[in-house]
Amino acid sequence: MTKTIKFNSGEMIMEQGTIGDCAYIIDDGSVEIFINHPDGSTQILATRGAGAIIGEMALVDRKRRTASVRAIKDCTVIKITEQDFQHRLESSDPIMKIVTKVILGRYRDTITRVNVFGESDNPDSTEAHEKQITQSGKAIGHLKTANEFKHAIHNDELMLYYQPIIDLETKEIKGFEALMRWIHPEKGFMPPNLFIPIAEDSGLIVEASDWAVEEAANALHRMKKANPHIDQNAFMSVNFTAIDMLHPEFLTKLLAVCERTQVKPSDIKIEMTERLLMNNPEKVRSMLQACRDAGFKIAIDDFGTGYSSLSYLHHYPIDTLKIDRSFVVQMTKDESALNLVKGIINLAKSLNMSLVAEGIEENREEELLLESDCEMAQGYKYSKPQPEDKLTEWLLHH
Ligand code: C2E
Ligand code: CA
Ligand code: CA
């Protein structure tokens, strides 16, 4: 926790040569920063007043203070401890986190010495040093991937694959889910579970999602035109992250996509995970309501894997629950998992939501879902995600 401390005029706030473990923000008063030279002389480097931060390098590494600071007027300062800083950094907005890490890394010349990546262990112990190097290596790897992903967006390295979502009873196609693929020029196929979190951390996901939703809307329009057998109300599900959805222009951009692609808002289904609802409840609720009012559909992805608190569901304008594949797999082996799935299906029905079971591979899974009155499904049993041309062909024979 941060703490306020008072220093009288003339009092020392920090001493050159001591190990620092905190920084201070001057709330009121002023200070002078000075150094003592080995020959006994003193050199004043600067004076600082309200709003200035002093001793900030202690938040980065536990080295000796390179200067002293003394109050030259009565001062009130806010103490920021190293632990507090690291805690705030870890819980900060992902963009803030990554930018802060990069700036601090550069500031300290060599990124391997930066202590913000780990707990405040003794940086001189071999174990702590190795940990720092591993964590820095990971962070550098992520930065590299983020950098490459930035090019991917502009170099046509991203693609969308589409997976049909079918009516379990009639086998009619009700819609599609757009799933992003990155074909890296050297590394080849990159799995979304690897690059999406990095794109999210670096904020690049916003640009990628903007591209994806427009591409997916165009594809839906083309597929409906090419295949009159597809239900004209078939929807396109697009995955979004918290960063996308909390962007102030999220809805405006979606509406512009509909305008450009001639796809109705009701044909676009926004897929988001449960976690997003829990982290920013009020903001997300009002944004979802605005999207819903504009006609877009909303689905909760991977339902059941997050914060299984069901009480929040009716607070949000949700059209569809997607039951995570892990339940579908478990359901055929375990009676209690089957009962849980039935419970989710009943819950969705009582809240007037539709239901999609994810990841159907086996006949037995389909049978149990049909018996449980589940409405829609998606899985390799029907079709793997495919590029648009392959899917268009598949649709002709479906
Ligand atoms: P998700 O949204 O839960 O997508 C469903 C995943 O299950 C897809 O993996 C799909 O290929 C896979 N799947 C579908 N049917 C089956 C099946 O029968 N068996 C098995 N084993 N798997 C099945 P994929 O395409 O690798 O995507 C992984 C995750 O990456 C997605 O999970 C989603 O969270 C994220 N993702 C993919 N594309 C995007 C995107 O455009 N934007 C965002 N924000 N996230 C995306
Ligand atoms: Ca999804
Ligand atoms: Ca899912």
| Beta strands, E only, 8-141 | 12-14, 22-28, 31-36, 42-48, 53-54, 68-71, 75-81
Q: What residues does 355 pair with on adjacent strands? A: 321
Residue nearest to atom 21 of ligand 1 (CA): 359
At 110 the pLDDT is: 42
Is residue 42 classed as helix, strand or coil in its secondary structure? strand
Dihedral sign computed on CA atoms, order 289, 294, 297, 301? negative
At 111 the pLDDT is: 34
At 116 the pLDDT is: 35
Round to whole Å and give the CA distance between 134 and 142: 12
At 52, the pLDDT band (50, 70, 90 cuts) reads: confident
pLDDT digits (tens, 9 = 90+) for 296-337: 999 999 998 876 567 778 889 999 999 999 999 999 999 999
- CA-based nearest residue to 216, from 261, 251, 181: 261
Tell the CATH topology of 156-397: TIM Barrel (3.20.20)
* DSSP code, position 362: S
Q: Which of 153, 160, 179, 382 to mutate to test the pocket of ligand 1 (most atoms within 8 A of CB)?
A: 179
Average pLDDT over residues 182-193: 93
At 121, the pLDDT band (50, 70, 90 cuts) reads: very low
Dihedral sign computed on CA atoms, order 83, 84, 90, 96? negative
The answer to whether the beta carbons of residues 186 and 229 sit under 8 Å apart is no
Distances (CA, A) of 374 to 136, 194, 303, 357: 47, 31, 14, 7
152 Cα: distance to centroid of ligand 1 (angstroms): 19
Is residue 37 classed as helix, strand or coil in its secondary structure? coil
Q: Is the CB of 210 under 6 A from ligand 1?
A: no
Round to whole Å and give the CA distance between 144 and 149: 9
At 112, the pLDDT band (50, 70, 90 cuts) reads: very low
What's the token pair of residue 61? 């590494």
b or e along 121-134 (b: 16 or more beta carbons within 10 Å of the residue's beta carbon)? eebeeeebbebbee
At 326 the pLDDT is: 93
Q: What angle do CA 371, 372, 375 make, to 5 degrees?
A: 100
Q: Which ligand is nearest to the CA of 179?
A: 1
pLDDT digits (tens, 9 = 90+) for 226-277: 888 888 899 999 999 989 999 999 999 999 999 999 999 999 999 998 888 7
At 113 the pLDDT is: 39
Q: Is the CB of 179 under 6 A from ligand 1?
A: yes
pTM (predicted TM-score): 0.73
Total residues found in the chain within this entry: 398
Round to whole Å and give the CA distance between 341 and 33: 65
Phi, psi of 299 (to 5 degrees): -125, 145
Q: Is the CB of 274 under 6 A from ligand 1?
A: no
Round to whole Å and give the CA distance between 182 and 137: 23
Residue nearest to atom 8 of ligand 1 (CA): 179
Provide CATH code, domain 3-86. 2.60.120.10
Residues 6+ apart with CB under 8 A from 90: 97
**In ligand 1, which atom is closest to the CA atom of 181?**
38
Q: Which ligand is nearest to the CA of 241?
A: 1
Residue nearest to atom 23 of ligand 1 (CA): 359
At 301 the pLDDT is: 94
Query: Which range has the worst mean pLDDT, 52-61, 88-97, 347-356?
Result: 88-97
Q: Is the CB of 383 under 6 A from ligand 1?
A: no
Show me where the domains of the chain are located: 3-86, 92-140, 156-397
Q: Is the CB of 385 under 6 A from ligand 1?
A: yes
Average pLDDT over residues 34-54: 87
356 Cα: distance to centroid of ligand 2 (angstroms): 11
Round to whole Å and give the CA distance between 199 and 319: 27
At 376 the pLDDT is: 98
At 106 the pLDDT is: 66
Average pLDDT over residues 372-389: 97
**In ligand 1, which atom is closest to the CA atom of 322?**
3
Q: What residues does 31 pair with on adjacent strands? A: 48, 71
Query: Considering the chain, what percentage of its residues have pLDDT values greater than 70?
Result: 89
Q: What residues does 173 pair with on adjacent strands? A: 166
Q: Is the CB of 212 under 6 A from ligand 1?
A: yes
The H-or-E segment that residue 88 falls in is helix 82-90
At 261 the pLDDT is: 97
268 Cα: distance to centroid of ligand 1 (angstroms): 17
Q: Residue holding tokens 């692609």? A: 261
Question: Is the pLDDT assigned to residue 50 strictly greater than 50?
Answer: yes
